[in-house]
Amino acid sequence: MLFLRRGLPGLLSGAISGTLLAGALGELWLSLAAGAILGAAYSLALPRLPARPGVAADRAMTAAAFGLPMWGAINVIILPLFAGHSPQWTAEGMRALFAALVGWLLFGFALGLLTAGAVSLVEQLIGPAPAAPKTAPASPKTHIVILGGGFAGVTTAMNLEKEFRRDPSVAFTIVSETNALLFTPLLAEVAGSSLEPTHISTPLRGSFRRTAVVRAQVTGIDLAKQHVQLSGRDETLPYDHLVFALGAVSSQPPGGKMSEHPLDFKTLADAIRIRNHVIDTFDRADAEHDPTKRQALLTFVIAGGGFSGAELAGALNDFARGMLADYPDLPADELRIVLVHSRDRILPELSESLASYALERMRARGVTFELNARVASARPGAVTLKRDDTEFEIATGTLIWTAGAVPNPLLKELPVELDKRGAVLVDGTLRVKGHSGLWALGDCAVVPDAKTGKPCPPTAQFAIRQARTLAHNLRASITGRALKHFHFDALGTLCVVGHHTACAEINGFKFSGFFAWLLWRGIYLSKLPGLDRKVRVLSDWLIELFFPRDIVQTIESRSPPQKTAA
Amino acid sequence: MSTAKAFVGLGVIVGTLGASALVLSGFFPLVGIMLGGFFGAAFALLTKARVKTPGAGLLWALAFMLLLWLAGAAGILPKFTSEKSMGMLDAARAHFPELIGYLLLFGAPLGLVLGAFATRQSSTQMKPFSLTRALVGGGLAGIVGGWAFGQWMEKAHFFPLIAGLVGSSSRGLGMTLHFIFAVIIGATFGLLFQRDVRGYGSSAGWGMAYGIFWWFLGPLTLMPLLQARRPDWSLSRGQELFGSLMGHIVYGLIVGVLYAALDKLWVGFFIESDPINRQPEGPGSRTLRSLGRGAIAGLIGGLVFWPQIVAVDGLHWIARLAGGTSSTLGLFVHLAISVVIGAGYGVLFERESPDWGAAIGWGMLYGITRWFVGTLTLFPIWLGASFTWTTAAAAAALPSLLGHLLYGAVTASVYLLLERRHRDWMRLDPRFAAYEARRQRPIGTPAPALWFFALSLGVLLPILLS
């Protein structure tokens, strides 16, 4: 029917218009044949436009303009090549082909005009093409709910939108305690006042096209009724498929006495708090004349020598030492950044050589290390460390806890299989074992790698790839197709430990120093979601080249620091 | 009488008057007067849904007049007259004065009058028109365009000739007059085409077509008339003024781009930046994405263009732009330029192509613009020579013209592919779909007429006049 409606009119119009190509192609039969073929192809390729006034003029002029490249392709290049000559694109050659150019332009105009008229005539004779049946927008049949607005949850939602596109039978909802995706690799830069806090967070509402965003805390999940209970809302959220992307929370420091004192380093608010606390502490130290108390104030203890702790130590060290220029009364040798780690080397995720390099560089820049030690307890003004069987105290006004994370404790309330850490066990397709319609990924799940069988590490690069597989599997599950098992070979790791200093292992290659630092910044800038976020972060880094880091305190302490008597 | 009938009737009247002018000029036989009325009616019937403004009318009419000239005076007619022994190019050259006559005496009045009539009938349904923006934006753009054109006029000692219009031979006076004309023509660009201006690129295309029109109207027609002389529309006069044609094209391109830039700057600064008018994707993100997509598209276009450059042994010449002569260096320079030009396409032509046909049309127009501005103007300057807007230079550069058209078409097609991918993703959000639909160039603008007129003359004139 398409051929009858469009192909045939185009073919006939092209044949008639083809008479104008006799000068261009030499033989009348050839020009008629070429015209017919081009006419049919042109007509079939045209987008179907409603028969409105003016369409004929548009088509005629557009087709006339297309006569120019047709002349160039056929008469100037192809025909001479077929005849064993070089293309005729010199001035003399084009002058000799002037008649053919006129022929093509006129052919195009005639083709466009006649085709538009012929198609319109056919529609009048046999009636217009039946319009596509308008289906009433169906209420969604399948509701996918994603719990968690981190890398895993957000990437799952984005990939679900790509998988299902406009399919109205599936709806997505993401539930998040925050309204933005935090790009955690750059969190230390916020604490160290290199970056503005909002620049490393991408608003959830601007990230999706048709995923509903619910800002709430999950207070309960009824697996039998397939409902999710949310804080601050009476109604529950029904689901057909539930995705656990709840991530991990900071593990609790040992001993009840410490739970009130440490600063966390997990969220944006934590990073902002740390930055403001450092500034506030400097002001207090500046008002303190007792050297012992002053040194305690200027001692910052960070528990945990993994990526978070090491990067935070490097960033705080740079920030704090840079601030000394604004506090001329504070002795530089009283400032201490102490990194406490339970093993004999920091950064266990990196190779030994890179970890040693990082430690030496940080030590050279002024960071102090307490290795093979754990934080035993803390009280206002001091932290007690334990090494082997010996305990010793460090006088400090600041303890920041980065020593480990555990899966979201909400999972422990559910009748699902968990490992000893509290992460939910899933099969290779990311389905929760023993439960249909339940899926999990990221830091809150134990995802086995399809090739090695080993659990995937809880990192963002794995969470993002798991999300892609999960979205595919959700669609496959709904449409009755085969699911994929997850596999991913880690690309590498990157860690920045100070100004122009980083360590990187990428596909087995090791890098350190300035080049690794450039890699770190370049790779994470490219991975930061949102083009405007990239521009903002890049501008922050460029500004940092010319101006010192900002020491404006944005969260006021409860009382201004008091000058003590000397 | 209904509006449609009045429109067609007006077409008959103006067509008859235009044909009468052509008869008086000796370009038409007496019977042409009736044909003129018939043609005016046919034009009105065919384009009544498209000629909504004087600017749209002007472009459509110029395109149809060019077609009429190709079909008639330069094409079919010589076959039936004593000229049939001449080659078609010779016939076209011999009928070069008719081309000018068709455009200025028939087409321009027909299009402008019908467009003005249509505007009065439908003014309430159209985009709002700002006289201030048209005059100020066009005038300012005209100054800059006039400065660029003036560089050639200075070299060709044209200013004293311009001063001759007021009976002087002063260079300074000639320059002053030149800038006055540039401002006026720029302002008329704004008056005629404000409703058609969307992107920088399409506006540049409009400017190019308007520049070509003013070449026919200005130095070939009005200048001699103002000097109380009969206009010389001969081919030889056209050949002498080829440099002026190039200047008018460059002037038009600059006016088009700058006018659109001033328009968009105004919108961007005062409207889009207002948080109340915030859209899901801000202008910053959109522009960066367009640059990136255009760069990729330009690279692919450059790769497709590469064999043609090799075939005309052009890589060594391109290498000279970087101070070398090797073809490898020439390839790198060519690809680098292609990426930059492609990125420019992305920014200049975002949202201009509702379909593949439009993309190829704009792309070819961009390609031919690159030939005029790049190959004929900027590259000689870059190589330390001054630009020579002569027929000989154009003839020497003709081999690369097709390659530029191909580059433009490929770049535009790839760009559309990339733009659509992103657009389809954004359109999942119904708010964005509505916004995007408003921003996309709609069907029904004079764009097809522009493509035909500007592309055809852009290729025809260098061949005819060389």
CA distance B329 to chain A (A): 24
Mean pLDDT of A278-289: 94
Mean pLDDT of B213-226: 92
Q: How far apart are CA A182 and CA A200, in angstroms?
A: 6
Give the confidence band of A321 by pLDDT, cuts at 50, 70, 90. very high
Contact B431, B281 (CB under 8 A): no
* Contact (Cβ atoms closer than 8 angstroms) between residue A76 and residue B466: no
What's the confidence (pLDDT) of residue B226?
87
Tokens of A28: 């009348």
Contact A69 B409 (CB under 8 A): yes
| Element spanning A506, H or E | strand A501-506
Q: Which range, of A305-309, B343-347, B380-384, averages the lowest pLDDT?
A: B380-384
A439 neighbors A474 (Cβ within 8 angstroms): yes
Distances (CA, A) of A193 to A308, A339, A554, B431, B460: 16, 19, 11, 37, 63
Residue among A438, A455, A515 nearest A490 (CA): A455
Q: Which two tokens stand for residue A137?
A: 């927008």
Contact A54 B48 (CB under 8 A): yes
**pLDDT of residue A563 exceeding 50:** no
- Tokens at residue B212, please? 């070509």
Q: What does the block give as tokens for A351?
A: 């190779």
Q: Which of A121, A118, A117, A68 is nearest to A97 (CA)?
A: A68
Closest CA to A346 of A313, A307, A383: A307
Report how far residue A439's alpha carbon sits from residue A241's, in angstroms, rounded to the nearest whole number. Answer: 8
A49 in contact with B, Cβ within 8 Å: yes
Neighboring chain B residues of A90 at a CB cutoff of 8 Å = 398-399
Q: What is the helix (H) or strand (E) element at residue A103, kind and residue range?
A: helix A98-126
Measured between CA atoms, the residue of chain A closest to residue B458 is A68
Token pair 């197709």 is found at A481
Mean pLDDT over A536-544 rounds to 94
Cα distances from A277 to residues A225, A282, A285, A561, B453, in angstroms, run: 46, 9, 12, 12, 69
Cα distance between residue A315 and residue A325, in whole Å: 17
Residue A190 tokens, joined: 């916020």
Whether A54 sits inside 8 A of B63 (CB atoms) is: no
- Contact assignment for B399 to A161 by CB distance below 8 Å: no
**Hey, is the C-beta of A257 within 8 angstroms of any chain B C-beta?**
no
Beta-carbon separation of B448 and A86 below 8 A: no
A66 neighbourhood in chain B, CB within 8 Å:
357, 360-361
Q: What is the reported pLDDT for A47?
A: 66
Q: Is the pLDDT of residue B286 over 50?
A: yes
* Chain A, nearest residue to B74 by Cα: A102
- Residue-averaged pLDDT of chain A: 88
pLDDT grade, residue A232 (50/70/90)?
Answer: confident
Q: Do B88 and A95 touch (CB under 8 A)?
A: no
Tens-place pLDDT, residues A448-496: 998 888 889 888 899 999 999 999 999 999 999 999 999 998 888 899 9
Looking at the complex, report in whole angstroms how far the Cα of residue B65 sits from the nearest Cα belonging to chain A: 12
CA distance B289 to B308: 29
pLDDT at B124 over 80: no
Residues of chain B neighbouring A117 (CB-CB closer than 8 A): none
pLDDT at B218: 92
Q: What is the pLDDT of residue A253?
A: 64
- What residues of chain B lie within 8 A of the CB of A101, using their CB? 459-460, 463
Q: Name every chain B residue with its beta carbon within 8 A of the beta carbon of A164.
A: none
H/E segment holding residue A356: helix A352-364
- Collect all residues of chain A within an 8 Å Cβ-Cβ radius of residue B426: 209
Give the angle A312-A313-A318 at the CA atoms, nearest 5°.
Answer: 100
Q: How far apart are CA B407 and CA B158, in angstroms?
A: 35
d(CA A388, CA B459): 87
- Residues of A whose CB is below 8 A from B444: 54, 58
**Low-confidence winner among A264-278, A418-432, B80-94 (lowest mean pLDDT):** B80-94
Distances (CA, A) of A356 to A373, A417, A551, B407: 17, 39, 32, 54
Q: Cα–Cα distance between B345 and B327 in angstroms, integer?
A: 26
Q: For residue B416, what pLDDT is reported?
A: 93
Helices (runs of H) and strands (runs of E) counted in chain B? 24, 0
pLDDT above 60 for A260: no
DSSP B441: P
Instruction: Name residues 68-107 of chain A within 8 A of B (Cβ).
Output: 68-69, 72, 76-77, 86-87, 89-91, 94-96, 98-99, 101-103, 105-106
Q: How far apart are CA B306 and CA B221, in angstroms?
A: 41
pLDDT at A2: 64
| pLDDT tens digits along B235-275 | 999 998 888 898 999 999 999 999 998 887 777 776 677 66
- Helices (H), ranges, B164-282: 171-193, 200-217, 223-226, 235-240, 242-267
Measured CA to CA, the distance from residue B436 to residue A209 in angstroms comes to 14
Quick one: pLDDT at residue A195?
Answer: 95
Residue A377 CB neighbour total at 10 angstroms: 18
Token pair 């004192």: residue: A261
Q: Which whole number is the average pLDDT over B334-343? A: 94
Question: Residues near B104 by Cβ (< 8 Å), separated by ≥ 6?
Answer: B216, B217, B221
Nearest chain A residue (CA) to B404:
A69
Distance CA B231, CA B218 (A): 10
Distance from CA of A484 to the nearest CA of B (A): 24
The arithmetic mean of pLDDT across residues A497-508, rounded, is: 90
CA torsion A6→A11→A17→A23, rounded to 10°? Answer: 140
C-alpha distance across the termini of chain B, in Å: 50
The answer to whether the CB atoms of A61 and B452 lie below 8 A apart is yes
Question: Taking a C-beta distance cutoff of 8 angstroms, is the pair A208, A176 a contact?
Answer: no
Reported as type and span, the H/E element at residue A33 is: helix A28-45
pLDDT(A175) > 80:
yes
Locus of tokens 């915030």:
B278
DSSP secondary structure code for residue A426 in this structure: B
Are the CB atoms for A297 and A284 separated by under 8 Å? yes
Higher pLDDT, A75 or A259: A75
Percent of chain B with pLDDT over 90: 40
Interchain pair A65, B448: CB under 8 A: yes
- For residue A566, the model assigns a pLDDT of 41
- Encode pLDDT of A189-212 as tens digits: 999 999 999 999 999 998 898 899
DSSP class of A19: G
CA angle in degrees (0–180, nearest 5) for B127-B132-B136 = 120
Give dist(CA B64, CA A113) in Å, integer: 13
- Name the residue facing B466 among A86, A91, A208 (closest C-beta): A91
Dihedral of CA atoms B459, B461, B465, B466 in degrees, nearest 10, equals: -20
The answer, yes or no, to whether residue B82 has pLDDT greater than 60, is no
Query: What's the pLDDT band for B343 if we cut at 50, 70, 90?
Result: very high
Q: What is the mean pLDDT of residues B445-466?
A: 89
Tokens of A14: 């092209």
List pLDDT tens digits, range B14-61: 999 999 988 888 877 787 788 889 999 999 998 988 898 999 999 999
Contact between B285 and A532 under an 8 Å Cβ cutoff? The reply is yes
Dig out the tokens for B407 from the structure. Answer: 């580059």
Q: Are B437 and B427 in contact (CB under 8 A)?
A: no
Is pLDDT larger for residue B246 or for residue B87?
B246
Provide the pLDDT for residue A135: 56
Confidence band, pLDDT 50/70/90 cuts, at residue B1: low
Closest to B75 in 3D by CA, of A14, A103, A72, A65: A103
Chain A, nearest residue to B465 by Cα: A95
| Nearest C-alpha neighbor of A305 from the set A219, A374, A258, A226 | A374
**Taking every pair of C-alpha atoms in chain B, what is the biggest distance, in angstroms?**
71
Structure tokens at A152: 């895993």
How far is residue B362's CA from residue B348's CA, in Å, rounded to a whole number?
10
Q: Which of A87-96, A268-277, B129-138, B259-268 has the highest mean pLDDT?
A: A268-277
Q: How high is the pLDDT of residue A93?
A: 87
CB atoms B46 and A56 under 8 Å: yes
Decide if pLDDT at B376 tops 80.
yes
The per-residue pLDDT for A557 is 61
CB pairs under 8 A between A and B: 145
pLDDT of residue A562: 46
Residue A85, pLDDT score: 87
Please indicate whether, in this complex, the C-beta atoms of A62 and B361 are within 8 angstroms of each other: yes
Question: Residue B326 corresponds to which amino acid?
Answer: S
3-class DSSP state for residue B161?
helix
Burial class (CB in 10 A: 0-12, 13-18, 19+), B289: middle
Question: Could A68 and B443 be called an inter-chain contact, meaning their C-beta atoms sit closer than 8 Å?
Answer: no
* H or E segment and range at residue B431: helix B430-439
Percent of chain A with pLDDT strictly greater than 90:
55
Identify the band that residue B425 occupies on the pLDDT scale cut at 50, 70 and 90: confident
ipTM computed for the complex: 0.86
Of B74, B425, B466, the CB nearest to A209: B425
Q: What is the pLDDT of residue A565?
A: 40
In single-letter form, the type of residue at position A287 comes to A
A33 within 8 A of A119, measured Cβ to Cβ:
no
Residue A207, CA atoms < 13 Å, CB-side half-sphere: 26
pLDDT digits (tens, 9 = 90+) for A73-129: 899 988 898 888 888 888 888 888 888 888 899 999 999 999 888 888 887 887 766
- Give the whole-angstrom CA distance, residue A183 versus residue A174: 18
A57 to chain B, any CB pair closer than 8 A? The answer is yes
Closest CA to A394 of A360, A371, A370: A370
Interval A263-289 mean pLDDT: 93
With a CB cutoff of 8 Å and minimum separation 6, the contacts of A420 are none
pLDDT, tens digit (0-9, with 9 covering 90-100), for B310-331: 888 888 888 988 888 888 999 9
Mean pLDDT of chain B: 86
Q: What is the pLDDT of residues A345-376, one digit of tens each?
A: 999 888 889 999 999 999 999 999 999 999 98
Determine which of A96-110, B110-124, B203-217 has the lowest per-residue pLDDT on average. Answer: B110-124
d(CA B169, CA B173): 8
Q: How far is A162 from A180, CA to CA, in rounded Å?
A: 20
